[in-house]
Structure 1
Amino acid sequence: MYGWTGKKVIIDLSNSKVYHEDIAEKLLKQYLGGRGLNAKILYDMTVAETDPLGPDNPLIFSTGPLTGSLIPTNGRYTVTAKSPLTGIFGDGNSAGFWAPELKYAGFDTVVITGVSEKPVYIWINDGQVEIKEAAHLWGRDVWETTVSLKETLGPNIQVAAIGQAGENQVKYAAIINNLKRAVGRCGMGAVMGSKNLKAVVVRGTQPVKIAHPEEHLKVVDEMLKHIYSAPGYPIRSTLGTTAITDIYIRNGTMPINNAQKAYDEQTKKLTSDKIAAYTTGLKGCFACPIHCSRYTKYTEQGPYSDAYSEGPEYETIVAIGPRCGNYSLPSILKLNQLLNQFGLDSISTGGVISFIMECYQRGLINKEQVDNLDLSWGNVETIIELVRKIAYREGCGAWLAQGVRKLSEEIKGSEDFAIHVKGLEPAEQEPRGMKAWGLGWAVSNRGADHLRAFPLAETTWTKEDAVRAFGSEEVVDRFAYTGKEKLVKWSEEVSGFTDSLEMCKFAQMALTIPIEMTAKALWTVTGWEIDEQELLKIGERIVNLERMYNVRLGLGKKDDKLPPRYAEPLKEGASQGQSFDINKLLDKYYTVRGWNVETGHPTREKLLELGLAFTIR
């Protein structure tokens, strides 16, 4: 087999057993790998009653067919499980260098089941798999754990670990690899902690077999030329996602004070040039010419003089910055470091803290409920202390570790500003001023999510591009509703196959690598002849399979909605006067998807068309 190894390892922690299995080529061609393959495995291995933090919930790591090749930006992987935060389909995705190392070690996929009686880590070394004791690592943060494992196993290993948040099963705990790259969303770190699993460590030297080596080099060259010549490359490669702060400030689409508003003059303290002043170097992931990540260090005297980490990314800047009323850049740099060390999803953490701050603002909670902390907007000391308390589940941190939805159920009067979809706190966009993103959040299979649809075309394409692709130039009018259902459907399917190839969306979608070029790249690696339409069909299959996972849990149209806050018009900034009405888009979206407009469920005909008959009940 070319590209894929065709190998899966199943590790039963309850019985300390390791099983090796082949992955059928037919299955790989249906789902590619990564996100898609994981979705199929999760569907098959769980039932509606599966406890997200119980032994029967598998934790699934997968690479893609391009992983470990020379194709640009192939260094990503997906971790999938039933989410402890949302109770529905859950996964997270990360880059760095962990994924190719797993491929070089001889595996496409690792499935972890059961619960260990004591703390352990998994050591995968060139096809050999061991379950090793980790009592000495338990209680340590991600950075300490990684350093210790490298001292024991050698400097060339790759480590995916949890910190204290994962150990304590915070519902939105992350898995961190390369010290600072996060499998952030849906609480995969909590699932890992529930299994008493501290880390998955990989090392490999086995080659990836390439079907057409000469053509492979040619398509790599084509892709590199496209990336380097893309209009967005100079900004992406120097400022990374921090450039988004400038755009969202200008457009009035940055959530502030738990999305009570979307513009404030103080946000100008956080523009990309301000962050660049603390940048000490650029960082690229495996096989990535974009190198969008940055190392930052705060060198001035003061309480944050030791702040150092990779990033922060736009989402983190806003989540624990303006969303919480915080405009102190040095504190954001420090908080980014702490989130990485503790192993916390910055998006959900910021969502929880900003929600509880608004509850405090409105008099719905008192100081005694939050350990006598002052929850005034922008209180940096409180934000830092809450991050620590959440990670350790200490005091009110145990309460906040549940996530916004559970908190809102316990705090009467907070429902209208409990910012989540299906239990997942959203990323740092403002759907009132970006209608396609609002629809993408509402229908996402893992809850409020910017990356499931990732409809960048709404603000980056020309009118001519929009007419050619979707039949209306209003698709690129961020205030218009026209055509957004088509844009979101297409974007979801591109995201679906991109996440399953385990390429980066910055290359495929932000820098617009042509889909036919990606199909050619896949052919050079695997020898499988495939075209643009078949890649999109695979993306559609994955979206529908994830949807059917949630249908099995009782979800449907009633769950595809945004919080009431977004029906309130914005009062300031370049998006002033805008609100969001999901009813203008939802039935249109179901129609273009071939779903039942009454239930929001895929129709029998659509499931049969996509080869998903096994999901029909």
Structure 2
Amino acid sequence: MKGFTKTILEINLSKNSVKKTPLNEDIARKFLGGAGYACATLFPLLSKETDPLGPDNKLFFMTGPLTGTTATSSGRMVVCAKSPLTGIWGESNSGSDACIQLKKAGYDGILIHGKAKAPVYLEILDEQVVIKPADHLWGKGIYETTSHLKNLEKFKKPRVMAIGPAGENLVNFAIIGSEERAFGRTGMGAVMGSKNLKAIVIQGSGKIEITHPDEFKELTKTTNSEMMEIFTYEMMQELGTSGSLDMYSVSGELPIKYYRGSEFENTDEISGSTLAEKYLKKNHHCFACPIGCGRIVELGENGQKLPTIPFEGPEYETMAGFGSLMMNEDLEAIIKANYLCNDLGLDTISSSSMIALLMDLVERRKLKPSDIDGISLQFGKMDEVFDLLEKIALRQGIGNIIAEGSQQLIKDFAIDPEQVATIHNSHVTYHDMRSTSPMAIAYGISPHYGGSHNSCDGYMVTTGLEIPDLGISLDGPYEEPKETAIVAGKLMEYRAFYSAAIFCVFANPPPKNLAKYLELALGEPFTMERIVTTGQRILTLKRLFNLKMGHTPQDEHIPKILLEPLPESGSEGQVPDVATLFSEFYSYMEWDKESGIPLKDKIKRLELESYSI
């Protein structure tokens, strides 16, 4: 099997040891790389009793067989562990260029064990792998840490992955930053911080070998050319992921005033077109991506105390979270919030959701300013938000409660959980299920819960995404529950395959092209049938992992705040029929209706008998 380097780098921080172990090719054939390989590897090593922030949890950085090649939008890596936010499968996917350097250095992945006695960082320069003291970096933001490590004398053009104060202080939704990209959502930054690992700096000089390089190169030319003729990708290139914000406002998909509002005036003030017109300096392309949806912005002299040099700007989820969800129309304030989160090491979705929740609770008089350190939080007012972000990252005052997630806030202040937009302690992303019903399944039952628009992006289907080869299409947001559930199931399986191959979910070339990429790289047959089977196998394994960690169908409950109709919104008072959707989804997935456990015939068919719960 080419495409893989066939080596995993294992770091035991408790023992201060480094070793190189061979890639398990049996696992790679069944689960590919990325999250598939990571889940199969971590499954026997973790249990319900494993403390996500204890030394027995593992942190697995894993690339895929196409990482570092020219395959369309494949320059990605995952980080996986037991999540401190949810207690189940934790997975984050990023277009960090560190993945390319890791493969060039000769490693498919890095598996981190244990906990260092004091802060450390990891230096990887081809065969040279060294654990170094990081006391001088502890407490610093991600930008300063990255700048310091990129200027080390022994490196020429390294790439850095680092945590900020949020990760050091074990904020349950801390990210791992990697220059202009981030591993967000499920708290992988907190797991990294729990191990006293501040950063990883990587540079490689090797080559990534594939079986048929000339045919592979021609396939890339064809795939990129065909994909960039599609209007969706042209728009994403021009306006970024927030290019659809205006459309979502009309359709009711854009969440407003912590999910209670029907109208957000002046949506154009925070839209992708306004960002492009006023602040965009250039596009950021992840490696091997023809789209370049990343936004590098420049404010020049500004009153926000932000850099005057170009830096990473906000994408859709951040624009919605610090925009319409908070009733904020100030785009520069959103840019500042995004910058602070990226530097402090906070997930922008969880942070904005928690702060908007506080605004909602204060407005409804469920909390008083005295409950939140005297902060006068109001919808539409952003000054206090910036201070609150720092409090969260440093776990100061009310920030210490917010850092644990919504369940701690519910417990400490006797808040009605039905009025909190989280599932499994994870904050839902900003595609309102009242407008796009497949997202009820995405948020309730995806393998990493609450924020799983990437593991089942049903909102893309309801706005026009079709993958005919896999039977994925839907002619509107309010189809019959059975049809919706089947489409969501097929899409979730496909995204499980994506998480292992690895591809960016915003790029959707024909699946036959992706199968051909793998065949030309690996040097063995890879068919459409194998894509489907691999996706089903990985998704089922993630389900088994979660059940092993103690997950039950009762944890898939969707709170009422997300199911209350909004008569004057673009969703026209619609709400998804969750009970029927879930029942039909369980049937499609071949899961027992009571326990949620995959049926024995399916386990056998997918060759998963050895992964027992």
Shorter chain as normaliser: what TM range? over 0.9
Q: Partners of 1:616 and 1:300 in 2: how far apart? A: 59
Residue in structure 2 matched with residue 480 of structure 1 by the alignment: 479
Task: Tell me if structure 2 keeps the 8 A contact 1:259–1:323.
Answer: yes
What is the CA deviation profile of residues 147-167 of structure 1, one whole-angstrom value per residue up to 9, with x for unaligned ones? 111121434111000011101
Counterparts in 2 of 1:170 and 1:305: CA distance versus 1, 3 Å? closer
Counterparts in 2 of 1:466 and 1:145: CA distance versus 1, 3 Å? closer
Task: Tell me if structure 1 keeps the 8 A contact 2:150–2:201.
Answer: no
Greater mean deviation of Cα atoms: 318-327 or 487-496: 318-327
What is the CA deviation profile of residues 85-118 of structure 1, one whole-angstrom value per residue up to 9, with x for unaligned ones? 1111111111031111100011001100111011
Counterparts in 2 of 1:580 and 1:409: CA distance versus 1, 3 Å? farther
Residue in structure 2 matched with residue 357 of structure 1 by the alignment: 359
> What TM-score do you get using the length of structure 2 for normalisation?
0.96
What is the CA deviation profile of residues 309-351 of structure 1, one whole-angstrom value per residue up to 9, with x for unaligned ones? 3121000111122212222111001111111111110001011
Say which of 390, 393, 402 aligns to 2:392.
390
Task: Tell me if structure 2 keeps the 8 A contact 1:304–1:330.
Answer: no
Shift of 1:304: 5.3
Residue in structure 2 matched with residue 299 of structure 1 by the alignment: 300
Say which of 550, 570, 575 aligns to 1:574.
570
The answer as to 2:594 corresponding to 1:598 is: yes
Residue in structure 2 matched with residue 154 of structure 1 by the alignment: 155
Task: Tell me if structure 2 keeps the 8 A contact 1:457–1:476.
Answer: no
Task: Specify every segment of 5 or more residues in structure 1 that has no aligned partner in the other structure, as ranges.
Answer: none
Q: Secondary structure at the match of 1:430?
A: coil
Q: Secondary structure at the match of 1:186?
A: coil
Residue in structure 1 matched with residue 175 of structure 2 by the alignment: 174
Q: Partners of 1:181 and 1:468 in 2: how far apart? A: 31
The answer as to 2:455 corresponding to 1:452 is: yes
Counterparts in 2 of 1:19 and 1:306: CA distance versus 1, 3 Å? closer
Q: Secondary structure at the match of 2:231?
A: coil
Task: Tell me if structure 1 keeps the 8 A contact 2:53–2:194.
Answer: yes
The answer as to 2:550 corresponding to 1:554 is: yes
Residue correspondence of structure 1 range 91-170 to structure 2 within 5 A: 91-152=91-152, 153-170=154-171
Q: Secondary structure at the match of 2:286?
A: coil
Q: Partners of 2:302 and 2:34 in 1: how far apart? A: 44
In the alignment, residue 387 of structure 1 is paired with which amino acid? L
- Among the aligned pairs, what percent are the same residue? 34
In the alignment, residue 477 of structure 1 is paired with which amino acid? G
Q: Secondary structure at the match of 1:10?
A: strand
Shift of 1:430: 0.4
Counterparts in 2 of 1:16 and 1:544: CA distance versus 1, 3 Å? same
Task: Tell me if structure 2 keeps the 8 A contact 1:55–1:114.
Answer: yes
Task: Tell me if structure 2 keeps the 8 A contact 1:249–1:268.
Answer: no
Q: Provide the alpha-carbon RMSD of the alignment.
A: 1.7
Q: Partners of 2:301 and 2:197 in 1: how far apart? A: 38
Shift of 1:25: 1.5
Task: Tell me if structure 2 keeps the 8 A contact 1:253–1:263.
Answer: no
Say which of 422, 425, 429 aligns to 1:423.
425
What is the CA deviation profile of residues 397-456 of structure 1, one whole-angstrom value per residue up to 9, with x for unaligned ones? 111111112211222243121111111101111001100112111111111121111125
Residue in structure 2 matched with residue 541 of structure 1 by the alignment: 537
Shift of 1:282: 1.1
Task: Tell me if structure 2 keeps the 8 A contact 1:75–1:98.
Answer: no
Shift of 1:23: 1.3
In the alignment, residue 501 of structure 2 is paired with which amino acid? L
Task: Tell me if structure 1 keeps the 8 A contact 2:163–2:189.
Answer: yes
Greater mean deviation of Cα atoms: 336-345 or 564-573: 564-573
Shift of 1:364: 1.9
Residue in structure 2 matched with residue 609 of structure 1 by the alignment: 605
Q: Partners of 2:345 and 2:248 in 1: how far apart? A: 27
What is the CA deviation profile of residues 231-269 of structure 1, one whole-angstrom value per residue up to 9, with x for unaligned ones? 312101111101121221121211122111243223332
Q: Secondary structure at the match of 1:614?
A: coil
Shift of 1:300: 6.0
Counterparts in 2 of 1:605 and 1:138: CA distance versus 1, 3 Å? same
Q: Secondary structure at the match of 2:186?
A: helix
Task: Tell me if structure 1 keeps the 8 A contact 2:470–2:490.
Answer: no
Q: Partners of 1:95 and 1:303 in 2: how far apart? A: 28
Q: Partners of 2:572 and 2:165 in 1: how far apart? A: 42
> What TM-score do you get using the length of structure 1 for normalisation?
0.95
Residue in structure 1 matched with residue 514 of structure 2 by the alignment: 518
Q: Partners of 1:5 and 1:287 in 2: how far apart? A: 19
In the alignment, residue 342 of structure 1 is paired with which amino acid? L
Greater mean deviation of Cα atoms: 364-373 or 265-274: 265-274
Task: Specify every segment of 5 or more residues in structure 2 that has no aligned partner in the other structure, as ranges.
Answer: none
Q: Partners of 1:314 and 1:346 in 2: how far apart? A: 11
Task: Tell me if structure 2 keeps the 8 A contact 1:390–1:400.
Answer: yes
Q: Partners of 2:469 and 2:42 in 1: how far apart? A: 37
Task: Tell me if structure 1 keeps the 8 A contact 2:441–2:488.
Answer: yes
What is the CA deviation profile of residues 369-418 of structure 1, one whole-angstrom value per residue up to 9, with x for unaligned ones? 21111011122011111111111111211111111122112222431211
Counterparts in 2 of 1:354 and 1:457: CA distance versus 1, 3 Å? closer
Q: Partners of 1:206 and 1:268 in 2: how far apart? A: 47
Residue correspondence of structure 1 range 165-564 to structure 2 within 5 A: 165-178=166-179, 180-276=180-276, 277-299=278-300, 301-303=302-304, 306=307, 309-448=311-450, 449-461=452-464, 470=471, 475-482=474-481, 483-508=483-508, 513-564=509-560
